[in-house]
């Protein structure tokens, strides 16, 4: 499977990473190389094999559905690049 420039552009957008138009051919080539390496997996007979969900068979723990933490707005916002009036600030989303 090889990735063309349009696919590389689409993947970069899905991943929300800006890639310059000039860099797309190289990106497509690299991604194609990695995917070719992965294609060895097609040699394996996986009929009837369950895809692994958890490496250690375990039942996820449950706890009571109650509030256990909170009331730390300052701490939550302390690392934000732009925090105003107790909120995270971002460019306008809704026109």
Partner 1 sequence: MSDLTKLTLAEARDALRKGETTSVALTEACLAEIEGAGALNAFVHHTPEIALEHAKAADERIAGGDAPAMCGMPLGIKDLFCTRGVPSQAASHILNGFRPEYESTVTQNLWDAGAVMLGKLNMDEFAMGSSNETSTYGNAVNPWRRGNDDAQLTPGGSSGGSAAAVAADLCLAATGTDTGGSIRQPAAFTGIVGLKPTYGRCSRWGVVAFASSLDQAGPMTKTVRDAAIMLGAMAGHDPKDSTSADLAVPDFEAAITGDIRGKKIGIPKEYRMEGMPAEIEKLWADGADMLRDAGAEIVDISLPHTKYALPAYYVIAPAEASSNLARYDGVRYGHRAKLAQGDGIVQMYEKTRAEGFGPEVQRRVMIGTYVLSAGFYDAYYNRARKVRTLIKRDFETVFADGIDAILTPATPSAAFGLGEMAEADPVQMYLNDVFTVTVNLAGLPGIAVPAGLDGQGLPLGLQLIGRPWEEGDLLNTAEVMERAASFVSSPSKWW
Contact residue for partner 1 among 41, 64, 71, 86 (CB under 8 A):
41
Within residues 63-82, the interface with partner 1 by CB under 8 A covers 63, 72, 75-76, 78-82
Instruction: Indicate whether 13 belongs to the interface with partner 1 (CB under 8 A).
Output: yes
Q: How many residues make up the chain in this entry?
A: 95
Q: Are 19 and 12 in contact (CB under 8 A)?
A: yes
Identify the CA nearest to 6 among candidates 18, 19, 24, 23. 24
Please report how many Cα atoms fall inside a 13 Å half-sphere around the Cα of residue 74, on the Cβ side.
0
Binding site for partner 1 (CB under 8 A): 3, 7-8, 11-19, 27, 30-31, 33-35, 37-44, 46, 49-56, 58, 60-61, 63, 72, 75-76, 78-82, 88, 90-93
């Amino acid at each position: 499977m090889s990735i063309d420039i349009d696919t590389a552009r689409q993947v970069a957008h899905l991943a929300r990473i800006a890639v310059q138009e000039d860099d797309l051919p190289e990106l497509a080539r690299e991604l194609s190389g990695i995917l070719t390496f992965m294609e060895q997996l097609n040699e394996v007979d996986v009929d009837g094999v369950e895809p692994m969900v958890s490496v250690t068979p375990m039942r996820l723990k449950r706890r009571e559905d109650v509030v256990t933490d909170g009331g730390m707005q300052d701490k939550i916002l302390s690392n934000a690049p732009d925090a105003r009036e107790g909120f995270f600030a971002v460019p306008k989303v809704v026109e």
